[in-house]
Amino acid sequence: MSLLETIRTPADLARLDPALLPALAVEIRAFLVHSVSKTGGHLGPNLGVVELTIALHRVFDSPRDTIVFDTGHIAYVHKLLTGRQGFDKLRAKGGLSGYPSRAESEHDVVENSHASVSLSWVEGIARAYQLRGQRRHAVAVIGDGALTGGMAWEALNNLAVATDLPVVIVVNDNTRSYAATIGGLSEHLSWLRTTGGYEALMSWGRERLTRTPIVGGPAFGALHGVKKGIKDILAPQGLFEDLGMKYVGPVDGHDEQAIEVALRQAKGFGAPVIVHVITRKGEGYDPARNDDADQFHAVGVINPETGLPLEVSGRSWTDEFSDAIEPLGTRRPDVVALTAAMLIPVGLKGFAAAHPDRVFDVGIAEQHAVAMAAGLAFGGLHPVVCLYSTFLNRAFDQLLMDCALHQAGVTFVLDRAGVTGNDGPSHHGMWDMTLANIVPGLRLAAPRDGVRLARSLEQAVDVNDAPTVLRFPKGNPPAPIEPLRSLGCVDVLAERDGGAVDDLIVGIGAMVPTALAVGEGLVADGRSVRVVDPVWALPVPHELVAQARDASRVVVIEDNAVAGGIGAAVALALSQEGVATPVVQEGIPKRFLEHASRAEALADIGLTPKSILQSLRGVSAAAAGSPPPEMAP
Ligand SMILES: Cc1ncc(C[n+]2csc(CCOP(=O)(O)OP(=O)(O)O)c2C)c(N)n1
């Protein structure tokens, strides 16, 4: 039996002979490489926190003490040490989540994969424990990347004066987000890392003074007691101590015993304290360590020996965007791009290489990025803010107030829109069109293929008096789907003739192939059908309303929440224009979707041609007063 298999709970770990801990760390790394190479997942970040997580679970008493992992992607080792070693279906339907999950374990508390929230959570948790008279610790583990987010600083500002709150903030400093972390804070952390004077003096003192009998111990204690003064002379801790926060570190994040010492010290303070732990992303696995792009921040299925991908991913939507923005930047010197710590994932690498002074990586700071974009627009440029759809949620107020209210020509490019799959509830991009729908003046395009993506981007950067949004999903776009004809911006993709129809099927973006398949099924049922794609879906085009007037039924198919999505916008537009045609809204129900592949998630919510046809046949049959036909597409 391996050492790891003997650990079922943190109590087993606490009992383990410290001499065996390095061997346990080796086993955990081998386990992670072996299993995550088969399922995909956040390999690099988790390899970096093996010793840190072991130490956390030996020093703190989870679940009595609460450990919150910021962003949640570094919880694999935590899972292994809290009774979850079945990683064969990690991130797959029915398997372990890639993030903490309350349904899985009482040791998991915060499931949110949106960064920078952990300090707020632990302040809340610690205050609740305190008010209820419970002596329990709350610990946040936050990366140097997540520490760039504004929320973390709002919480620090409060924690700094919460001097009786037993909160421990572990900064997992690996100098990287996906790529190198940027900004003043990361420079400060790096300065703390490299200023070894204080630690050197302390270890010199410990060595010399404790060798002297009787006076040695007290003298070292005294030296320790004036730690703050010495620190300020030798290595002023600046930021954190100026805020009034206690600071321990920097600690070697791959020396388990050293981390334990620091954490025990921090635990004893009884006040908010920062423990600065230096780790290496991908530690112990050369392919990750040698990967300059992101040190295997997140991998697909790979060969564990070489680290090379085993799945051919093909040309992605991100590639289409990347290929469109780079030449656009050459033609339009006013176009600038912004990213929130995700330059490569959002497809800006080529643009950054071609126009290095016109791309701004602001750290994990979506709110700042969007308000800054409003400023750039005011200054005469056309900013393109590139985000994953789910992270737009963070910056809704800035989209509404800083961009729309000020009629700022800012283009938002939202990758990973719709159902994203294995990353689970907080990663689905299922709210962006709902948010966009309530913003005055905003125009939104959901391109159905790469040709439409490039064209919409060109059109978007020509709009200089309102925000524009482009949204597209994860994965590979279909081959270009050319229209039969166009009515204004509305493309007609399938019809028998130009006359009135029973069903006007409106496909939005990535759901166009589904709309076409549904159209074929309805034609086979003997109905007359027109399938259209507005491309620019918001505001609802007049031509679409005109088409709806001549149809018996409108069906809108979108991969956004039905609540407030494009179907809802079409229904409102029709009622405002006095068009009585009923609108069927096919989209994502108002609930959080579990992790599963995109195809499984779409099937679960009935967003497949087969399910949509079944529901439409049910509606038609009910309207006609007869049972639905037994037809499968
Ligand atoms: C609000 C938000 N924006 C963007 C992301 C995407 N994201 C996931 S992990 C990550 C980098 C995190 O860096 P860090 O906190 O240093 O952790 P590390 O991966 O280095 O351990 C980013 C940008 C996110 N999770 N949340």
**Is 289 part of the annotated catalytic residue set?**
no
**Is 394 part of the annotated catalytic residue set?**
yes
pLDDT band at 1; cut points 50, 70, 90? confident
| pLDDT, greater one: 238 or 288 | 288
Which of 471, 500, 531 terminates a domain? The answer is 471
∠ CA 352-416-305, nearest 5°, is 75
Residue 533 CA to residue 447 CA, distance in Å, equals: 9
Q: What is the DSSP letter of 393?
A: G
Residue 490 CA to residue 547 CA, distance in Å, equals: 10
pLDDT band at 101; cut points 50, 70, 90? very high
Average pLDDT score over residue span 326-342: 97
518 and 463 inside one domain: no
User: What is the span of the domain harbouring residue 211?
Assistant: 196-235
Average pLDDT score over residue span 599-627: 87
573 φ, ψ to 5°? Answer: -60, -40
Q: Which of 84, 394, 452, 617 is catalytic?
A: 394
Q: 219-233, 369-383, 516-530: lowest mean pLDDT where?
A: 219-233
Residue 438 lies inside a defined structural domain of this protein:
yes
Structure tokens of 556?
């809108």
Question: Do β-strands 468-471 and 382-388 pair in parallel, antiparallel, or remain unpaired?
Answer: unpaired
Residue 158: strand, helix, or coil: helix
Residue 630 lies inside a defined structural domain of this protein:
no
Give the CA distances from residue 601 to residues 121, 590, 591, 595, 604, in Å, rounded to whole numbers and listed in that order.
Answer: 29, 14, 12, 8, 5
Which residue's CA is the nearest one to ligand 1's atom 17?
143
Residue 624 CA to residue 622 CA, distance in Å, equals: 5
**Spacing, Cα 113 to ligand 1 middle (Å):** 8
Tally of domains within the chain = 4
Average pLDDT score over residue span 170-188: 84
Cα atoms in the 13 Å half-sphere on the side-chain side of 364 = 26
248 and 131 inside one domain: yes
Q: What is the pLDDT of residue 432?
A: 98
Residue 344 CA to residue 415 CA, distance in Å, equals: 12
Pocket test for ligand 1, best of 177, 289, 368 (most atoms within 8 A of CB): 177
**Spacing, Cα 415 to ligand 1 middle (Å):** 16
Average pLDDT score over residue span 218-247: 51
Q: What is the pLDDT of residue 182?
A: 76
Burial of 87 (0-12, 13-18, 19+ CB in 10 A): buried
558-582 exposure pattern, b = at least 16 Cβ within 10 A, e = fewer: bbbbbebbbbbbbbebbeeeebebe
Average pLDDT score over residue span 328-346: 97
Residue 67 lies inside a defined structural domain of this protein:
yes
**Spacing, Cα 228 to ligand 1 middle (Å):** 32
pLDDT band at 237; cut points 50, 70, 90? low
381 and 494 inside one domain: no
Tally of CB atoms within 10 A around 523: 17
Residue 434 CA to residue 431 CA, distance in Å, equals: 5
Q: What is the pLDDT of residue 190?
A: 77
Q: What is the pLDDT of residue 312?
A: 81
**Is 366 part of the annotated catalytic residue set?**
yes
24 and 172 inside one domain: yes
Q: Which of 29, 91, 281, 448 is catalytic?
A: 281
Residue 352 lies inside a defined structural domain of this protein:
yes
Measured in residues, the chain has a length of 633
> Which pLDDT tens digit goes with each residue over 446-485?
999 999 999 999 999 999 999 999 999 999 999 999 999 9
Residue 311 lies inside a defined structural domain of this protein:
no
Q: Is the pLDDT of residue 167 over 80?
A: yes
Which of 471, 504, 533 terminates a domain? The answer is 471
Q: Is the pLDDT of residue 229 over 60?
A: no
> Which pLDDT tens digit goes with each residue over 385-414?
999 999 999 999 999 999 999 999 999 999
Which residue's CA is the nearest one to ligand 1's atom 11?
177
**Spacing, Cα 177 to ligand 1 middle (Å):** 6
> Which pLDDT tens digit goes with each residue over 255-310?
999 999 999 999 998 999 999 999 999 999 999 999 988 999 999 999 999 999 99
Residue 22: strand, helix, or coil: helix
pLDDT band at 203; cut points 50, 70, 90? low
445 and 501 inside one domain: no
Q: Is the pLDDT of residue 630 over 90?
A: no
Q: How far apart are the first and last CA of the chain?
A: 52
157 and 257 inside one domain: yes
258 and 345 inside one domain: no
pLDDT band at 627; cut points 50, 70, 90? low
Q: Whole-number mean pLDDT of the chain?
A: 91
442 and 578 inside one domain: no
Atom of ligand 1 nearest to the CA of 279: 21
pLDDT band at 219; cut points 50, 70, 90? very low
Q: What is the pLDDT of residue 195?
A: 62
One-letter amino acid at 507 equals: G
512 and 433 inside one domain: no
Counting residues of the chain whose pLDDT is more than 90, the rounded percentage is: 82
The CATH number of residue 325's host domain is 3.40.50.970
List ligand 1's pocket residues with C-beta within 6 A. Answer: 45, 71, 73-74, 113-115, 143-146, 172, 174, 176-178, 181, 281, 297, 340-342, 364, 366, 391, 394
Burial of 71 (0-12, 13-18, 19+ CB in 10 A): buried
127 and 276 inside one domain: yes
60 and 19 inside one domain: yes
Average pLDDT score over residue span 494-502: 92
359 and 461 inside one domain: yes
Q: Which of 51, 366, 558, 586 is catalytic?
A: 366
Structure tokens of 31?
């386990």
Q: What is the pLDDT of residue 318?
A: 98
pLDDT band at 244; cut points 50, 70, 90? confident
Counting residues of the chain whose pLDDT is more than 70, the rounded percentage is: 91
Atom of ligand 1 nearest to the CA of 114: 26
Q: What is the pLDDT of residue 205?
A: 44
Q: What is the DSSP letter of 318?
A: H
Q: Which residue has the tokens 């910056």?
A: 395
> Which pLDDT tens digit goes with each residue over 537-576?
999 999 999 999 999 999 999 999 999 999 999 999 999 9
Residue 122 lies inside a defined structural domain of this protein:
yes
Q: What is the pLDDT of residue 231?
A: 39
> Which pLDDT tens digit goes with each residue over 313-331?
899 999 999 999 999 999 9
Residue 326 lies inside a defined structural domain of this protein:
yes
One-letter amino acid at 608 equals: T
Atom of ligand 1 nearest to the CA of 49: 21
CB 578 within 8 A of CB 550: no
CB 446 within 8 A of CB 535: yes
Pocket test for ligand 1, best of 114, 182, 281, 364 (most atoms within 8 A of CB): 364
Q: Is the pLDDT of residue 251 over 70?
A: yes
Question: Do β-strands 583-588 and 551-561 pair in parallel, antiparallel, or remain unpaired?
Answer: parallel
Q: Is the pLDDT of residue 236 over 60?
A: no
Atom of ligand 1 nearest to the CA of 142: 15
Structure tokens of 64?
């009595």
Residue 86 lies inside a defined structural domain of this protein:
yes
Q: Is the pLDDT of residue 226 over 50?
A: no
Q: What is the pLDDT of residue 633?
A: 36
Which region holds residue 282: left if phi is over 0, alpha if psi is between -120 and 50, else beta?
Answer: left
Question: Do β-strands 551-561 and 501-507 pair in parallel, antiparallel, or remain unpaired?
Answer: parallel
Query: For the sheet containing 66-69, what is the strand order?
Result: 66-69, 138-143, 167-173, 273-278, 246-252
Question: Do β-strands 273-278 and 167-173 pair in parallel, antiparallel, or remain unpaired?
Answer: parallel
**Spacing, Cα 145 to ligand 1 middle (Å):** 6
The CATH number of residue 502's host domain is 3.40.50.920
**Spacing, Cα 390 to ligand 1 middle (Å):** 13
Pocket test for ligand 1, best of 69, 71, 116, 185 (most atoms within 8 A of CB): 71
